[in-house]
Structure 1
Amino acid sequence: MTWLVTGGAGYIGAHVVRAFLEEGLECAVIDDLSSGHRGFVPETVPFVEGSVLDTELLVGAMRTHGVVGVVHLAGFKYAGVSVQRPLHTFEQNVTGTLHLLQAMQVVGVDKIVYSSSAATFGTPQEPLVTETSPTRPESPYGESKLVGEWLLRDQAVATGLRHTSLRYFNVVGSGSDTIHDTSPHNLFPLVIEALLEGRTPQIYGADYDTPDGTCVRDYVHVADLALSHVAAARALVEERPLEPVYNLGSGDGLSVRQVMDAMRRVTGVDFTPELQPRRPGDPDRIVASGELAARDLDWRMRHDVDEMVASAWRARRAAEVAR
C-alpha cells in the first residue's frame, strides 16, 4: 500500500516521506527538482523525476508502484514572487493539481492529502484564524491554493474522492540533519545564512500593533507537520470522517523579534538585528487555531522555539560540513 508524495524531494516533502517510513507506510516520490533535492530522498524510496503537469508520467508512476493515495506537496510556494509570476504560479499549482486529479481518476486512486496554505486567508480580521474564517487571498499563490481546495471539493462530488486539505504558514526547523530549508525567502534560513556569512539579520518593521512591535506569525516545526500528514492519510484509508480543511496552527504565534532572540540564544552568535522599514502588505498578526487538527490528526506543538532554531541550525551546519 504505497502513497505517492508529490514534491517529496523538497524540504517539507522529504520530512513527510520520512514520517511515512517511520510509521511503516510505503511511499514513492515524484519531483521535478526545481526546488527539491534528490539527496533529500532516501535511497530505498522509489523516485520519479518529473512534473505533476505530465499526466502520463503520473499515471505510469501510480500504476508501477501500486499507489493507493497521494500527498500533494508539489507546487510553486513563494507568495511574494507569485505577484510577479502569476501565470507560472497558476500553471504549477492549479494546472498541476488538475493533471494530478486526472491521473488519479484514470488509475482509480481515490484518496488525497493536499498541502494548502494560510495564505488562503489573506489578512485576517480576527486575532485567531479558524477553519471557518473568511478566505480572502491577497496573492496569486494564495489564490492558487484556494482553487486547489475547490478542485478537490468538486472532484469529490463528481467521483467520491476522499480528501482533506492542510493549511499552514511558517514551517521551520528540521527533523533530520540531512534535510534543511533551502528557501531564499523564509525567515529561518534567511537569518541563518546571514549569521553564517557574518552579516546582520534584518527586521522589516518594528512599529506593528503587537506586544514588541514586530509581526506575529505561526511557526510550526516541520516534523510535527509531517506527522499530521501521516495521520490524515491513515484516516482516509480507514474511512474515518475528516473535515475538508484543517489549520495546523500554533494558537499563539511568535514575533519576529522573539525568533531573533532565540537565534541569538541558541546559536551563540551575538547580534542586534538591523531595523528596516515595513514591507508593503505585511499584516500585524496571523495566527491560526489548531483545535480541529488536534482532535482528528494528532496535531500538537511538540517543539518550542529554541528547539525549532536548534534543529534548523544543526541541519544547516551539517549541510555545510557535507559539501
Structure 2
Amino acid sequence: MTWLVTGGAGFIGAHVVHALHAAGEQIVVLDDLSTGVPARIADLDDVPLVRGSVQATSLVAKLLREYEISGVVHVAAKKQPGESVDNPLLYYRENVGGLESLLRAMTDVGVDALVFSSSASTYGDQDTDVLTEDATCRPVSPYGETKLVGEWLIADVARSTGLRHVSLRYFNAAGAAAPELADTGAFNLIPMVFERLTAGLPPKIFGDDYQTPDGTTIRDYIHVGDIASAHVAAARHLTAGREAREVLNVGTGQGSSTREIVETILDVSGYTDLKPEVLARRPGDPAVSIAGADRIREVLGWSAEHDMRSTVTAAWEGWLFHHPEARRDDGTAPAGGASPGTRDE
C-alpha cells in the first residue's frame, strides 16, 4: 500500500513517517508547514513532501490519484487545548473542516482506509482514574471537542461508504525517537520544566493536595516512538483488509505523578539543586488520567515499549539538540528569566 500522511513534517507526524518507512511502506507527505519542519523527514529521499492544506480538497484528490494512494494517516491538526479556548473557530475550521475536506476527497477517489490521530482530550472530566474506550466522552476544550466530532464524522462516513478506519486516542506524548525529531515547543509538562531549567529557574508543580500517593496529579506519558509504532500496527491492520471501525487508546496503562516526572527530569538533566516550587492547583486538572490499554493490545497486538525514565531521557536529549545552552557541563545553571508556558493536556 501507499499511504498519504497528512501533517507528516510535524512532531508526531514525522515519527509516524519514519516508522512507516522503516516498516517498508510507501509514503507521500502532505503538510502546510505552518508548524511542520521539512528537515525532520529530509533524510527520506524516496518520500515526497507536498506543501499544502488538507482543506484544499482538489489538491488532496489529485495526490490520491497521482500517487495511487491506498490509505491515509491523518495527523494534521491544531492541537493546543488552551489556544482552542481562545480561538475555537480556528480549531473547528482546521480540525473539523480539514477532516471533512479529506474525507470528501477520499470518498470521491475511492480510498477506503483511514488512520485518524485522535486524543485523550476527548474524555474530558471523568469519575474514574483508568479511562477506557467505553467511557462517555465529555471534552472540556474546543480541541477535545473537535477530535470527538472528528471521530463521529468518520463513523458517519463509514456507515455511508464502507470506510475502514482506526482512530487512535493519544495520551501524553513525550520523548523522541531521535534528537533531531524532538518537539521544539513547550506545551506540556516535560518541555515546560526543561524551559524553566534552561532559564535557571526551579520547575513548578501545580497542586500537591490531590488524593494521590504523593499529592500531585498522575498522568500516562507515552513515548512518541510508541505512538508511531501504534500507527504502523493500525496501518497493517487496515492493509490486511479487515472491516475495521475501531477507536483505541494509545498509552502505557501506567501512571506517573507530576512529582515523579519532575524529580526524574532533575536527575536526568543534572539540575538537582533546583527544587520544585509548589503552587496552587490549576482549575480543571483531574487528579488521575491513565489509559486503559487492553483493547489496543487485543485488536492490534500492540503495547508500549518505553518506560517513563527512558521517555524523559529521550525528551531531554531532544531538548539539548535544539537548546544546547541547556547542557550543564560545568555544574552551574544558565542565567535568565523564564518563558511563559501553556498547560499540559
Q: Report if the CA contact (8 A) 1:218-1:253 is conserved.
A: yes
SS of 2:180's partner is coil
User: Alpha-carbon deviation of 1:311?
Assistant: 0.8
Q: CA RMSD in A?
A: 1.5
Contact 1:290 1:299 in 2 (8 A): no
2:164 and 2:245 in contact (8 A); partners too: no
Which of 145, 150, 174 aligns to 2:176? It is 174
- Report deviation, 1:195: 1.8
Deviation at 1:192, TM superposition (A): 1.5
Letter in 2 for 1:16: V
Q: Corresponding residue for 1:244?
A: 246
> Do structure 1's residue 192 and structure 2's residue 194 form an aligned pair?
yes
Q: Tell me the equivalent position of 1:275.
A: 278
Task: Give the whole-Å Cα distance in 1 for the aligned partners of 2:304 and 2:20.
Answer: 19
Q: 1:272-305 CA distances to partner (integer Å, 9 max, x unpaired)? A: 1111221111111111111111122232221111
Q: How far off is 1:51 after superposition?
A: 1.1
Distance 1:321 1:28 in 2: 32
- Measure how far apart 1:307 and its partner are: 0.5
* Worse overlay, 272-281 or 148-157: 272-281
State the alpha-carbon separation in 2 of the partners of residues 135 and 315 from structure 1: 33
Q: Which portions of structure 1, spanning 4 or more consecutive aligned residues, are displaced by more than 4 angstroms? A: none
1:14·1:41 contact (CA, 8 Å) conserved in 2? Answer: yes
Structure 2 residues without counterparts, runs of 5 or longer = 326-345
Q: Is 1:20 paired with 2:20? A: yes
Deviation at 1:260, TM superposition (A): 0.4
Does the 8 Å CA contact 1:123/1:286 hold for their aligned counterparts? Answer: no
Quote how far apart the aligned CAs of 1:319 are. 2.7
**Residue pairs, 1:101-250, within 5 angstroms:** 101-250=103-252
Do the aligned partners of 2:164 and 2:243 also contact (CA within 8 Å) in 1?
Answer: no
Amino acid at match of 2:36: G
- Quick one: which amino acid aligns to residue 86 of structure 1? P
Residue 119 of structure 2 aligns with an amino acid whose one-letter code is: S
* Amino acid in the other structure paired with 1:188: I
Using the TM superposition, give the Cα deviation of residue 3 of structure 1 relative to its aligned residue in structure 2, in angstroms: 0.5
Query: Given the two structures, how large is their TM-score scaled by the length of structure 1?
Result: 0.96
- Distance change in 2, residues 1:265/1:184 (3 Å): closer
TM-score when normalising by structure 2: 0.90
Shift of 1:306: 1.3
- 1:32-82 per-residue CA deviation (whole Å, 9 max, x = no partner) reads 122221111234221011111111111122222221101111111001211
Q: 8 Å contact 1:10–1:35 — kept in the other structure? A: yes
Maintained 8 Å contact 2:155/2:245: no
Instruction: Return 5+ residue gaps in structure 1 as ranges.
Output: none
Structure 2 contact 169–248 (Cα < 8 Å) conserved: yes
What percentage of aligned pairs have identical amino acids? 47
**1:288-303 map, 5 Å:** 288-303=291-306
User: 1:80 corresponds to which letter in structure 2?
Assistant: G
* Aligned residue in 1 for 2:35: 35
In 2, Cα distance between equivalents of 1:77 and 1:64: 30
In the alignment, what sits opposite 2:333? none
The equivalent residue for 1:77 is: 79
1:241 is displaced (CA, Å) by 4.9
Give the Cα–Cα distance (whole angstroms) in 1 for the partners of residues 72 and 2 of structure 2. Answer: 9
> 1:193 Cα deviation (Å)?
2.1
- Alignment check: 8 A CA contact 2:184 2:322 kept: no
